[in-house]
Amino acid sequence: MSPVKSLRELSIMAIFQNIRQVDNIGYLSYETVRSILLRVESAAQLRQIELNSPQIQGQTAELWVRLIERDFPLESRNRAYQPKDPKNWYRVWEKYKVEQEKFLEESENRLKSALNSLRQEEEKKTSKIIELGAIPSSKKGAIKRPHARTSNTLSFGGGSRTKTANGASVMRKVRREAKEIAQIHGTLSRPIRTPPARSAVTKAPEAMVNDHKRAALPPYR
């Protein structure tokens, strides 16, 4: 059977369970309530206890150092601030807090600036690609595309079947049109077949020969 706890022990246990509601320690000394104050997790609460129980001011350095190392681990290692008056440890905590908020704000601004720079660079690259890939056309000199295209007809003004949005599409258009020109040249360069030559007349028709013989005979009397 466990020993019966004293009234003091029961009171301390009740305080631990409701530590967030503690805002003063009455007229008790710091040493008497030290174990209780070490459970305080809020700088604002600790400062309120100091204001309500001023007899402990100047004795709470370890409490403030504990909170500072927990809330500002990097800052406290880089800059170990010390108050001139031991009653002003709360000001040291506030100083770290201000510096931390300033650092976070500056870091956020630097991040936003870096993201904006990256976005602008991407927009510039996209704009350059569009400018290099686009082919300007004159509305006045444009030739309308005929309704029907034959193998011997080549039209340049009616547009291209390939969109010229970038350098690769421009090369595809040039190759396709060069192929069309080659096809037309091949058609025009084919030899033209002439009709077969008529055979020369080497012998007079037989009827003409007979007529000629009869004309040569002497007249019949």
Residues 133-187 have pLDDT tens digits of 665 555 544 445 555 444 444 444 444 444 445 666 767 777 787 777 767 656 5
Are the C-beta atoms of residues 184 and 152 closer than 8 Å to each other? yes
All residues at 6 or more sequence positions from 32 whose CB lies less than 8 Å from its CB, including other chains: 25
| Rg (the chain; Cα; Å) | 54
Which one-letter DSSP state was computed for residue 82?
Answer: -
What are the pLDDT digits (tens) for 47-76?
A: 999 999 999 999 999 999 999 999 999 989
For the chain, report the end-to-end CA distance as a whole number of angstroms. 185
pTM of the model: 0.52
Which of 39, 32, 38 shows the shortest CA–CA distance to 8? 32
Which of 30, 32, 40 shows the shortest CA–CA distance to 11? 32
How many Å apart are CA 92 and CA 86, to the nearest integer?
10
| The residue to which tokens 């080549």 are assigned | 154
Give me the pLDDT at residue 193, please. Answer: 55
All residues at 6 or more sequence positions from 12 whose CB lies less than 8 Å from its CB, including other chains: 35, 36
Which two structure tokens, joined as six digits, stand for 204? Answer: 């007079």
Give me the pLDDT at residue 46, please. Answer: 97
